[in-house]
Every structure is written in C-alpha cells, then in structure tokens.
Amino acid sequence: MCNRRRNGERISLIPAVLLTGATGYVGGRLLPLLAADGRPGELRALVRRPERATEAVRRHAVRGDVVTGEGLAAALDGVEVAYYLVHSMGSGSAADFAARDRQAAARFGAAAARAGVPRVIYLGGLAGTGSSEHLRSREEVAEILAAHVPQLVHVRAAMIVGPGGASFEMLRALVERLPAMVCPRWIDTRTQPVALRDVVGALRALRDRSDVAGDVELGGADVLSYREMMERTARILGRRPPLVLRVPVLTPRLSSYWVQLVTPVDAGLVRPLIDGLREEMIVRTPPPPGVNDAPLGFDDAVREALAQR
C-alpha cells in the first residue's frame, strides 16, 4: 500500500494494478475484490477480446495478449503491481504448453521490465518440479519472470478447492460416479488442499505487501492424502466412500484414461493433473502474517465449493 500526505493528513493510495487471467478460474474471482478497493483507472484487466468479456470485466479491460505480446506496452504503462495468472495447461501436448508458457512469460517479463513495473505476483504450484511436466513448466515461468522484474512474489498453492476447478471437479466426480476404483500410489500422497477463497484472499493481500517477496506458500488447515479427501468428500455428499484398491503397476497414463471416462474434466487437463498428484504439496514455510492467517479446513472448503456450483 502506498501512503502519501495531503494537507498534513496521511492518505492511503492503492497501487495501479494489471490483472492477467481476469476471465480465468482464480483471476475471475480476484477481479471483483481488487475492483472493490480502488478507483476507476487504478485496475486494468488484460483481455484478448474485451468485447466477449462480461460487463464486470469490460469495465476494466485493456486489450492484450501475453503470448503474442500485443498490447502489453500500453497495458503495463504506469503499473506498480502486475498479477500473472495465466498458463496453458491442457493446450496440446506437454511440450506444446510448456513452450507456449515459456514464450508468454518471456514476452510479459520483457514488457514489464521496459515499463518499469517493480513487482509481479505469480501463482504457481506448492510442490517442487518432481516428475511432473506441468510443475516443471510452472517453475520455469517463475524463473523467467524473476529474471525481468525487481521483485517477484511466487505464490505457491496446493490443490485449490473451489467450484469449477479442475482438481476439485475431478475429485468430486470420482466420488459420485465410482463405487470402487483401482488407483496407483498417488492415492496416498499427502497434500494440503486450500480453499479458493483463501487463495484469492492471499493474492489480494499481497498487492499491498511490498515488504513480501520471493516464495509465499499457501495451504489449508488440513494435511490429507487423496484417499482421505475422497472419503471426506463422499461423507459430505452423503455417499458411501468408494472402495479403493491401490496397485503399484498402474501408470499415470493409464490412470488418466479411466479418469477421462468418468469425470467431466477436459481430457487435455487430466494427464497433467494426474502427474502432479504424485508430488507432495505441503507448506514447509508458513506465509507472512496477514497472508492466509486462518485458512479453511478441507470439509468447509468442500461444502463452500458445492454450495457455489
């Protein structure tokens, strides 16, 4: 938060912000929070086709494309904080989305540097790179952005529990549609699922925290295995938990095939999601005070997500 004095009185000024991914899963929920705080002109939402956006987005929309670089110079001019909430997971093969994300991050980072943007907030994954091409790509994007701007805040979130989110919808559909399932070892991988509202709240808080840089880890109140998450979700839905048989020979590729058959998640998203499930996502370094101080537990996050579907 910027502070200045007018007629001897201290006033609070909200930094000029550019939000990318404003029509996406997280960005679409962050936009109204940011808009509620500021005055017209302080918030811009980068959109490829503003004419197709909702009225709430069009009110702040500036035309631009992080992949081609179109419109970035004008969009970033005078911006103090930029949110980078875009990725290409599900667009083609792993090599395709990694290359596309690499290109987009490089163009956005270079444009931010030319515009003198001091701070970029980027949403990535809590796990390390591991064996997941998707997680490796997320790490690479963070490195590219950090090379261009003075201050990168790399927000590392565990599995996000919210309505319409691919990971949560996959979990819900498996519980609702399968009385029994054969799963690989990732069924007992531990994670720290975090409510969508807590991720969005943390991103909003970080806008004003110029004292925070580097990694910020976000997780919920509970550390659970995927088996435990399915059991708890079943109980909340009033269903019997599915019978789970763990087998060591089921590969991520084979897992993704049957997940595609029984869930509504886009086929291009399933394989990267399954790959990521093999990695533990647990907060090792708590975020600074004022950022995700009291996250929801898993059960409350699921109930909230179901109520908002």
In a domain, 253, yes or no: no
In a domain, 208, yes or no: no
In a domain, 153, yes or no: yes
Of the candidates 48, 203, 184, the residue with the CA atom closest to the CA atom of residue 124: 203
Q: 193 is written with which tokens?
A: 């699922």
In a domain, 269, yes or no: no
Which residues form the domain of 92?
11-157
Residue 194 · residue 125 · CB < 8 Å: no
Q: 128 is written with which tokens?
A: 């390390």
In a domain, 65, yes or no: yes
Q: How many domains does the chain have?
A: 1
Question: What is the Cα gyration radius of the chain?
Answer: 20
pLDDT of residue 39: 61
Domain of 30, CATH number, reads: 3.40.50.720
pTM here? 0.88
Residues paired with residue 180 on neighbouring β-strands, in sequence order: 243
pLDDT of residue 263: 72
Residues paired with residue 191 on neighbouring β-strands, in sequence order: 224, 281
pLDDT of residue 244: 79
pLDDT of residue 8: 43
| Pairing relationship of beta strands 190-191 and 224-225 according to DSSP bridges | antiparallel
Of the candidates 193, 217, 200, 187, the residue with the CA atom closest to the CA atom of residue 287: 217
In a domain, 291, yes or no: no
Report the distance separating Cα 58 and Cα 22, nearest Å: 10
Residue 24: partners with Cβ closer than 8 Å, 6 or more residues away: 85, 86
Residue 297 · residue 222 · CB < 8 Å: yes
In a structure prediction context, what are the per-residue pLDDT tens digits for the chain, which is 309 residues long? Answer: 444 434 444 344 678 999 999 999 999 999 999 999 866 558 999 999 999 999 999 999 999 999 999 999 999 999 999 999 998 655 555 557 788 999 999 999 999 999 999 999 999 988 765 667 777 888 999 999 999 999 999 999 999 999 988 889 888 988 888 787 777 777 888 999 999 999 999 999 999 999 999 999 999 999 999 889 999 999 999 998 888 777 766 566 666 666 776 777 776 667 667 776 777 899 999 999 999 999 999 999 999 999 987
In a domain, 276, yes or no: no
The three state secondary structure string of the chain is: CEEEEECCEEEEECCCEEECCCCCCCHHHHHHHHHHHCCCCCEEEEECCHHHCCHHHHCCEEECCCCCCCCHHHHHCCCCEEEECCCCCCCCCHHHHHHHHHHHHHHHHHHHHHHCCCEEEEEEECCCCCCCHHHHHHHHHHHHHHCCCCEEEEEEECCEECCCCHHHHHHHHHHHHCCEEEECHHHHCEECCEEHHHHHHHHHHHHCCCCCCEEEEECCCCCEEHHHHHHHHHHHCCCCCCEEEECCCCCHHHHHHHHHHHCCCCHHHHHHHHHHCCCCECCCCCCCCCCCCCCCCHHHHHHHHHHCC
In a domain, 32, yes or no: yes
